[in-house]
Amino acid sequence: MDDPSVSADFHARPRLPKGGELRTSRLLLRPARADDVDVYTRLWTDPEVRRFLGGPVDSDRLRLRRQRFDSRPHVFSVTAAERAEVIGTVSVDVAERHTGRWEVAYSFLPEHWGRGYGREAVAAVVGWVLETAPARDASVIAVTQEANVRSRRLLEAVGMRLRERFVEFGAPQVLYGVERGDRREQRRTTGSD
């Protein structure tokens, strides 16, 4: 994959902590490994997970994704801290289709929905980008279908706000975003740090 630090006027990728991992109170987000590919295959083919993502990935695209699985930077496998089982994924990359802004994407296995894992993991990745990206690059977006109410609630819960509406892939979409200054303002007005 091309290095976005040389495209879209980005100077550098956000820097990961030593070991390449992010931690929350309940989760470990670590770089995806080759032995995670079976869980990712399930995420790519599960009709419920893919409901708002164009449906399950077809067999040709699935084969290519499996072959190129370990070549994507900033793809995190999310595990519950008390066990090593992968429960989902969060990734962040430059979205050329949206003027080169950092875009976060995520999916979790259905049996782990409703426990706040997605919100916690996405908040960790968004916070990491906003804290470590160069100031001119310190913004994150996420796109979901307008009908995906659960995902929209998650994005709002991590401090992202609705910025745009548009139609893509034959369905109404919404783009949420947050910038480093937005997070500071939220902390100031809510009194939280």
List of long-range contacts for 3-6, beta carbons under 8 Å, 24+ apart: 4/93, 4/94, 4/100
Total residues belonging to the chain: 193
- For the stretch 6-39, pLDDT in tens is 444 444 566 666 678 999 999 999 999 989 999 9
The pTM of the full predicted model, rounded to 2 decimals, is 0.84
What sign does the dihedral 18-104-138-23 (CA atoms) show? negative
Question: Residue 48, SS3?
Answer: coil
Rounded-to-integer distance, Cα 92 and Cα 15, Å: 12
- For the stretch 101-117, pLDDT in tens is 899 999 999 999 999 99
Residue linked to tokens 């740090």: 193
**In the 3-class helix/strand/coil scheme, how is 118-137 assigned residue by residue?**
HHHHHHHHHHHHHHHCCHHH
